Amino acid sequence: MMRLRSSIDRWGLVARILHWGMFLLFGVTVFIGFYMVDLPRGFAKYQVYSRHKSLGITLLVLAVMRWLWRLIDTAPGRPVMPRWQSIMSSAMVAALYVVMLVIPLSGWLYNSAAGFPLQWFGYIHWPALLDANPSIKVIARQVHEAAVYIFMGLLLVHIAAACKHHWVDRDDIMRRMLPFR
């Protein structure tokens, strides 16, 4: 039986759905982000930007939900590992959570500073964080783009560490987060 909450030896269903769902959604959103930049001006570009922004809002909501879930759910115990690895693991998780919030928040700030309306899939209007402001627009865009690259780097290290634990250390770090047994 699938447990919603995590146990001492495995992440629960909610944590795994948030983990893998956000991984896929971030991948799609980042791909769209790189794709949309080179589109010629016009309605198609507007539609792609709108989808990117809507996915960004979705990721922001999911990141907050994931953070809140992490606060109330228990985490599986860690296998025995050197102290430096344990510290690095905690730092990596914290950095990933921070960047998962910074990316959509800086995108929202960039959109607000650019003076564009923001609607979630055309249904829910999201308020601007501030009035149009060209100088903040430039900074917010730089933060948004840099955060994406930082996230991709952190993600590669995260994946490499999971693979190292699975194939070198032969512990259950990766297995306990896999969507299947």
Beta bridge partners of 124: 120
What per-residue confidence (pLDDT) applies to 141? 98
Tell me what percent of the residues of the chain surpass a pLDDT of 90: 91
Choosing among 1.20.950, 3.90.350, 1.10.12, 3.30.70, the CATH entry for 13-177 is 1.20.950
CA 133, CA 112: separation in Å to the nearest integer? 8
Distances (CA, A) of 117 to 103, 113, 114, 131: 18, 10, 9, 11
**Which tens digits make up the pLDDT trace of 88-125?**
999 999 999 999 999 999 999 999 999 999 999 999 99
Residue 95 carries which side chain, given as an amino acid letter?
A
* Residue numbers in the chain where pLDDT is lower than 50: none
**What pTM was estimated for this model as a whole?**
0.93
What per-residue confidence (pLDDT) applies to 1? 65
What per-residue confidence (pLDDT) applies to 129? 97
Take residue 47 and report the two structure tokens written for it. 């539609």
